[in-house]
């Protein structure tokens, strides 16, 4: 039995991440603007290496980088009519499947990211909630897997006597079971003309063990993946070696959450294991290409090996490596495909290049311990993609703010319930957020007192009852009182109103809460009630939204806001002191 390695390194380092704004007809320059830029961008791409060009619909050639784009285009959810899924490098079978699933026109975020992801590029996709990120990464991954499966099937038909050749797969890591189920539903919705899913997807957990038939896409939580791979009774495909050999694509959905807090240790273990197997695989391929034993390659000077990992044999020669005399070695057809024996060593496969995709709706980049800085260190070649409304409020939201006290809170809540953005008679779906389980139960009781029936969604509610509440909300609407357990990744269609009975503890959680409404270009309503102790945070977020600015300057917890407010007597953005 093998276990995932732990390098002992946290993801937090102090490397600044810059953005590259690219216009339609101008090359990208290396003039960098910070992630918290004061200007808005239609499309943004950033990275450490040579950035790819990305179409920008709102920036004219040679225009100034800080010019504000057209407001209507900026807030448009869908890409222009001349942009189609066919034009985004997706295969015809996937495009047809998208059309069957009701996806006719790409969103602006999909226009930005799908060509990059379809090329197999390692990338970070940071885009506003409700922008179509799940289908944005699933469609390119499925298209690539279908192509790889065809290649492997052709290889099997030619070399039917070969053993150990396995089909490629994809791994999607999510923070909770609800999001895992949602990703599986979206993947299953991509079907052929007969209604059969293009690929088999399985949500694997401790309560739903791996199926006998190995699925193409595995969706799971980090803890479940480690528990399953360290067990000995699920078969070689579900060992660490089997996962490393099969998974050509690794996606972290809600990456900012997975790379922090209680998830970080397990996720770093998994990523370290993946990266180590990538290095082993590349070392074996390079040693065979050079015609030298693997031990001889490993004994090369560090700078030569670093050049080899970066640019192959040519880069090695550029740094002074002298190729040894020609030695006979196995022809390319004799290079084994990945093994599923569960061993730590990974046989070389010249067609294997693992893709890493990190997806998030919030990705703070400021501060020594930011998630973005850690990703930059661990994956220096990542391409960074940002939606045009990242960390900003949407103009399709009707905002309401009300300061409350303990005496006025209940009346304010009931008043908020009576305020409607939608005409009466239409189906309403209202989410009411509370900070704790006890607070959520109190909110539900306060609404029941005035005859408003509620559903509950928090950790003290059983998984079956939570799933039933989501189904009821999706099909029939209603009022669901919840904690932040429902703030991330839960996609209830057509939520009309989000009420914060307790204001969010941070601007990050605020963005995720309000992102449950006004999704996919629809209109929504947000009412925020805040107590005096949350006033500094609430007013800072409100000011940013009213100024149509990103709220990243408020990306610290309420406790930090209280300290700064007492120190300076006013709101001071994160990372700044009081200007004099």
How large is the average pLDDT for residues 385-398? Answer: 91
How large is the average pLDDT for residues 307-319? Answer: 88
For 148-162, 168-182, 237-251, which range has the lowest pLDDT when averaged over its residues?
148-162
Q: Are strands 44-47 and 18-21 parallel, antiparallel or unpaired?
A: antiparallel
Residue 372 and residue 365 in contact, taking contact as beta carbons nearer than 8 Å: yes
Q: What is the pLDDT of residues 465-497, one digit of tens each?
A: 999 999 999 999 999 999 999 999 788 999 999
Residue 249 and residue 145 in contact, taking contact as beta carbons nearer than 8 Å: yes
Structural tokens at position 302: 């560090």
pLDDT classification of 364: cutoffs 50, 70, 90: confident
The pTM (predicted TM-score) of the whole model is 0.81
Q: What is the pLDDT of residues 282-299, one digit of tens each?
A: 898 888 888 899 899 999
Helix (H, G, I), strand (E, B) or coil at 169: strand
pLDDT, greater one: 427 or 48: 427
Using left for φ > 0, alpha for ψ between -120 and 50, and beta otherwise, residue 355 falls in beta
pLDDT of residue 457: 97
Q: What is the pLDDT of residues 324-346, one digit of tens each?
A: 765 544 444 333 334 333 344 44
pLDDT classification of 7: cutoffs 50, 70, 90: very low
Q: How many CB atoms lie within 10 A of CB 217?
A: 25
pLDDT classification of 1: cutoffs 50, 70, 90: low
Q: How many CB atoms lie within 10 A of CB 111?
A: 24
Q: How many CB atoms lie within 10 A of CB 163?
A: 9
pLDDT classification of 58: cutoffs 50, 70, 90: very low
pLDDT, greater one: 14 or 434: 434
Task: Return the sign of the alpha-carbon dihedral for residues 240, 241, 246, 252.
Answer: positive
- 128-132, 329-333, 365-369: range with highest mean pLDDT: 128-132
pLDDT of residue 38: 31
* CB hemisphere CA count around 160 (13 angstroms): 1
Q: Are strands 217-220 and 201-203 parallel, antiparallel or unpaired?
A: parallel
| Cα 188 from Cα 174, distance rounded (Å) | 17
* Burial of 532: CB neighbours in 10 Å, binned 0-12, 13-18, 19+: exposed
pLDDT classification of 154: cutoffs 50, 70, 90: low
pLDDT mean across residues, the chain: 80
* Percent of the chain topping pLDDT 90: 57
Between the CA atoms of 178, 181, 183 and 188, what dihedral angle is there, to the nearest 10 degrees? Answer: -160
pLDDT classification of 157: cutoffs 50, 70, 90: low
> Domains plus CATH for the chain?
397-568 (3.40.50.300)
pLDDT value at 362 more than 90: yes
pLDDT of residue 177: 92
Angle at 384 between CA 353 and CA 97, to 5 degrees: 65
Alpha helices in 299-397 (DSSP H): 302-318, 371-378
For 42-46, 298-302, 493-497, which range has the lowest pLDDT when averaged over its residues?
42-46
Q: What is the pLDDT of residues 395-404, one digit of tens each?
A: 899 999 999 9
pLDDT, greater one: 313 or 8: 313
């Amino acid at each position: 039995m093998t276990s995932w390695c732990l390098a002992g390194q946290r993801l937090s380092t102090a490397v600044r991440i810059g953005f590259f704004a690219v216009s339609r007809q101008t090359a990208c320059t290396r003039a960098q603007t910070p992630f918290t830029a004061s200007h808005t961008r239609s499309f943004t791409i950033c990275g450490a290496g040579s950035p790819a060009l990305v179409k920008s619909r709102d920036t004219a050639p040679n225009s100034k980088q800080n010019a504000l784009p057209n407001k209507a285009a900026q807030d448009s959810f869908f890409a222009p009519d001349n942009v189609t899924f066919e034009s985004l490098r997706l295969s015809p079978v996937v495009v047809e499947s998208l059309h069957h699933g009701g996806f006719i026109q790409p969103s602006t975020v999909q226009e930005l990211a799908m060509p990059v992801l379809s090329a197999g590029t390692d990338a970070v996709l940071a885009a506003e909630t409700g922008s179509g990120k799940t289908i944005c990464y699933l469609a390119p991954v499925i298209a690539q897997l279908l192509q790889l499966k065809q290649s492997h099937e052709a290889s099997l038909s030619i070399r039917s006597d070969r053993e150990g050749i396995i089909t490629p797969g994809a791994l999607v890591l999510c923070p909770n079971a609800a999001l895992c189920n949602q990703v599986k539903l979206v993947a299953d919705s991509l079907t052929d003309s007969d209604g059969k899913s293009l690929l088999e997807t399985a949500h694997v957990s401790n309560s739903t063990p791996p199926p006998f038939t190995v699925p193409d896409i595995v969706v799971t939580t980090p803890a479940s993946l480690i528990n399953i791979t360290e067990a000995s009774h699920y078969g070689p495909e579900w060992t660490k070696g089997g996962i490393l050999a099969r998974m050509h694509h690794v996606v972290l959905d809600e990456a900012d959450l997975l790379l922090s807090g209680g998830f970080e240790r397990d996720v770093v273990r998994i990523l370290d294991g993946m990266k180590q197997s990538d290095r082993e695989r590349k070392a074996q391929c390079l040693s065979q290409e050079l015609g030298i034993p693997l031990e001889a390659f490993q004994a090369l000077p560090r700078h030569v090996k670093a050049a080899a990992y970066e640019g192959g044999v040519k880069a090695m020669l550029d740094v002074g490596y002298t190729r040894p005399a020609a030695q006979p070695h196995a022809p390319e057809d004799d290079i084994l495909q990945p093994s599923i024996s569960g061993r730590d060593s990974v046989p070389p496969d010249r067609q294997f290049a693992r893709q890493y995709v990190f997806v998030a709706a919030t990705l703070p980049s400021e501060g020594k311990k930011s998630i973005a800085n850690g990703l930059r260190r661990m994956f220096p070649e990542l391409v960074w993609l940002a939606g045009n409304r990242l960390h900003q409020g949407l103009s399709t939201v009707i905002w309401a703010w009300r300061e409350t006290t303990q005496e006025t809170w209940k009346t304010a809540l009931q008043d908020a319930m009576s305020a409607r953005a939608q005409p009466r008679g239409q189906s309403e779906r209202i989410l009411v957020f509370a900070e704790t389980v006890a607070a959520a139960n109190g909110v539900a009781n306060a609404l029941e007192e005035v005859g408003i029936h509620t559903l509950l969604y928090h950790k003290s509610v059983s998984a079956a009852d939570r799933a039933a509440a989501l189904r009821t909300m999706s099909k029939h609407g209603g009022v669901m009182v919840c904690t932040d357990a429902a703030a991330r990744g839960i996609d209830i269609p057509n939520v009309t109103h989000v009420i914060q009975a307790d204001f969010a503890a941070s601007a990050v959680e605020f963005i995720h809460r309000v992102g449950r409404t006004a999704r996919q270009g629809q209109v929504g309503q947000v009412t925020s009630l805040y107590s005096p102790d949350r006033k500094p945070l609430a007013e800072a977020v409100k000011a940013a939204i009213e100024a149509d600015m990103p709220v990243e300057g408020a990306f610290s917890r309420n406790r930090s806001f209280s300290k700064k407010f007492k120190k300076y007597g006013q709101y001071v953005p994160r990372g700044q002191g009081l200007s004099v």
